[in-house]
Amino acid sequence: MKCIEVTIWLFLAAVVSAKPPNMVFMLMDDMGWGDLGVYGNAAKETPNLDKMAAEGMLLPSFYSANPLCSPSRAAMLTGRLPIRNGFYSTNAHARNAYTPQNIVGGIPDSEILFPELLLQAGYATKIIGKWHLGQQPQYHPLKHGFHEWFGSPNCHFGPYNDVTTPNIPVYRNASMAGRYYTDFPINRSTGESNLTQLYIQEAVDFIHKSVGAGSPFFLYWTPDATHDPLYASKTFLRTSSRGLYGDAVRELDYGVGVILKLLTQLGVASDTLVIFSSDNGGATYAKEMGGSNGPFLCGKETTFEGGMREPTIAWWPGTVAGGTVSHQLGSMMDWFSTALDLAEIKEPDDRIIDGMSLLPILVNGTVTDRPVFYYRGDELMAVRYQMYKAHYWTWTNSIDEFNHGTDFCPGEEIANVTTHDQVNHTSQPLLFHLGRDPGEKYLIKPKTAEYIEAMKLIQPIVDEHHKTLVKGAPQLNYCDPAVMNWAPPGCEDLDQCLPVPHHDQTLCYWPH
């Protein structure tokens, strides 16, 4: 009797473990570390995210691979620094480059995205929201690991006139379904849009369908309401004490609640790893129309902590213990290795992967020493190891841009740190202790024993990194009006094809 019971139990265990877990990655756009109640936001307007953290693991020392959206997203999906996967520019030193609609490049076919490997392993894969790895058809999600797509290749900037600049298309799978502003309205005077509601509904439908089909699924949920121009639906407009930005956060928090509740109701919560994070820091230059980076210096576009430390939560009831905090130095690139580990897929061994599997951290709370690299374009600006961060270069933006009103560090000028020149500190890096000084304000003096000891750890890591680095071919150097979204696939069916202008390929101008 006992023997039979054991046999049945073993059989059930084998059946259960035969199906790898589902994964839901919720990646926000320009949301800051300090925007969530659980991360200390005084408005406390994120009850669902706070609950997610209470039921899961908070990762307060988690970093994006870049302070800007396209390179950050490309790094997450490839597990590789943008300098390796090509999401950078060499047009000028240390410039933030991305994928506006006139960019010629995009994600190279030679890069392996983890959804490509999940798809081969039998996962149903869907992206809902912003892609940002290139708007030309060869770069689209359905060519790089996704079965399904609802969303857009670029930011929702506009409205445009469709004469000098086309409105950005929204896709369903490989074909356009319409364009922002005309078919998917965003009211620029009120900030009203139903897009977040559409993205929530798409997620609900996909989860229902995948659970029904019994296949493991990967959902990459990447709504962009917290990216300029901000938007929220009528139900959420003017409900936040923080203004329109807070309205957008509240609606996204609501969406997180809907998705987690659905997973629970469908009985798959214990088979699903859910990650919440953001692509880069809050856009401090937008002042009260941007996010909060908590105690950290500056924000988006910079390699100070505010630019790259992300509000990260992991949720997996029954596997990740509730109410836990991990001080692991984590990277968005780790989700690449973690996803492969969970699906028992061998990591590619023909290339350097910068991520590491977080499974031991999530399951057992272990902590592993490892560095964090802060890149801006083609330059390694800073390195963190343990509590120390060394800046090899500092730059906010040019004094000319600053004098014309673009301030990446409003209210946070720190002498010799938030510099308006690109300052090369390589011969004597600026060193901070992020434990006692999370805001990077108090320089550790170079002649002190602490400085000397810390640099003895950091310098060999930097030397080794430079020595072994093989840079990918830069993808973000060329721009051309002919590659814009004039005639996206499927435009014929909607009668929305616009005339394509002549090619005029030039080096893109990246001001900062």
Enzyme catalytic residues: 69, 132
Q: How many residues sit in the footprint of ligand NAG (CB under 6 A)?
A: 20
- Residue placing its CB nearer to ligand NAG in the complex, 159 or 257: 159
Exactly one of 148, 271, 301, 440 binds ligand NAG (CB under 6 A); which one?
148
- Residue placing its CB nearer to ligand NAG in the complex, 50 or 247: 247
DSSP state of 31: -
Query: Is 419 one of the binding residues for ligand NAG (CB under 6 A)?
Result: no
The alpha carbon of 353 is separated from its chain's Cα centroid by a whole number of angstroms, namely 17
How crowded is residue 101: how many other Cβ atoms within 10 Å of its Cβ? 22
- Residue placing its CB nearer to ligand NAG in the complex, 215 or 426: 426
Q: Which residue has the tokens 């790094």?
A: 75
Smallest separation (angstroms) from ligand NAG to the CB of 22: 17
Smallest separation (angstroms) from ligand NAG to the CB of 138: 19
What is the distance between the alpha carbons of residues 39 and 49, in angstroms, rounded to a whole number? Answer: 10
According to DSSP H, which parts of 380-478 are helical?
A: 399-403, 449-468
- Residue placing its CB nearer to ligand NAG in the complex, 93 or 351: 93
- Residue placing its CB nearer to ligand NAG in the complex, 37 or 129: 129
Smallest separation (angstroms) from ligand NAG to the CB of 389: 17
Interface segment toward ligand NAG; rule CB under 6 A; list 18-26, 44-52, 419-427, 458-466: 419-427
- Residue placing its CB nearer to ligand NAG in the complex, 164 or 364: 364
- Residue placing its CB nearer to ligand NAG in the complex, 348 or 360: 360
What is the distance between the alpha carbons of residues 403 and 346, in angstroms, rounded to a whole number? Answer: 51
According to DSSP H, which parts of 19-113 are helical?
A: 47-54, 69-78, 82-85
How crowded is residue 306: how many other Cβ atoms within 10 Å of its Cβ? 32
Tokens of 433: 């202790």
Q: Name 62's bridge partners.
A: 330
- Residue placing its CB nearer to ligand NAG in the complex, 363 or 469: 363
Smallest separation (angstroms) from ligand NAG to the CB of 107: 20
What is the distance between the alpha carbons of residues 46 and 73, in angstroms, rounded to a whole number? Answer: 24
Smallest separation (angstroms) from ligand NAG to the CB of 462: 12
Q: Which residue has the tokens 């609802």?
A: 150
Query: Is 423 one of the binding residues for ligand NAG (CB under 6 A)?
Result: no
CB 227 within 8 A of CB 248: no
What is the distance between the alpha carbons of residues 189 and 205, in angstroms, rounded to a whole number? Answer: 31
Exactly one of 120, 182, 215, 416 binds ligand NAG (CB under 6 A); which one?
416
Residue ranges in 168-207 that form contacts with ligand NAG under rule CB under 6 A = 172-173, 185, 187, 189-190, 192-194
Alpha carbon dihedral 73, 467, 382, 303, in 10-degree steps, equals: -30
Smallest separation (angstroms) from ligand NAG to the CB of 42: 30
Query: Is 312 one of the binding residues for ligand NAG (CB under 6 A)?
Result: no
**Helix axis angle, 47-54 relative to 244-265, nearest 10°?**
50
CA separation, residue 306 to residues 63, 313, 386 (Å): 10, 18, 18
Smallest separation (angstroms) from ligand NAG to the CB of 360: 3
Of the CA atoms within 13 Å of residue 190, those in its CB half-sphere come to 13
Exactly one of 1, 14, 415, 470 binds ligand NAG (CB under 6 A); which one?
415
Exactly one of 427, 467, 470, 502 binds ligand NAG (CB under 6 A); which one?
427
Smallest separation (angstroms) from ligand NAG to the CB of 50: 27
Q: Which of 92, 81, 85, 83 is nearest to 107 (CA)?
A: 85
Residue ranges in 257-296 that form contacts with ligand NAG under rule CB under 6 A = none
Tokens of 31: 């949301």
Interface segment toward ligand NAG; rule CB under 6 A; list 211-219, 260-268, 423-431, 487-495: 423-431
What is the distance between the alpha carbons of residues 301 and 285, in angstroms, rounded to a whole number? Answer: 9
Exactly one of 241, 424, 448, 506 binds ligand NAG (CB under 6 A); which one?
424
Interface segment toward ligand NAG; rule CB under 6 A; list 45-53, 402-410, 422-430, 493-501: 422-430
Smallest separation (angstroms) from ligand NAG to the CB of 8: 24
Query: Is 100 one of the binding residues for ligand NAG (CB under 6 A)?
Result: no
Query: Is 143 one of the binding residues for ligand NAG (CB under 6 A)?
Result: no
Residue ranges in 329-388 that form contacts with ligand NAG under rule CB under 6 A = 359-360, 363-364
* Ramachandran angles phi, psi of 383, nearest 5°: -140, 135
What is the distance between the alpha carbons of residues 394 and 418, in angstroms, rounded to a whole number? Answer: 7
Contacts of 236 (CB under 8 A, 6+ apart): 247, 248, 250, 251, 254
Instruction: Give a three-class secondary structure readout of 209-236.
Output: HHHHHCCCEEEEEECCCCCCCCCECCCC
The amino acid sitting at 493 is D
- Residue placing its CB nearer to ligand NAG in the complex, 300 or 512: 512
- Where do contacts with ligand NAG occur on this chain (CB under 6 A)? 147-148, 172-173, 185, 187, 189-190, 192-194, 359-360, 363-364, 415-416, 424, 426-427
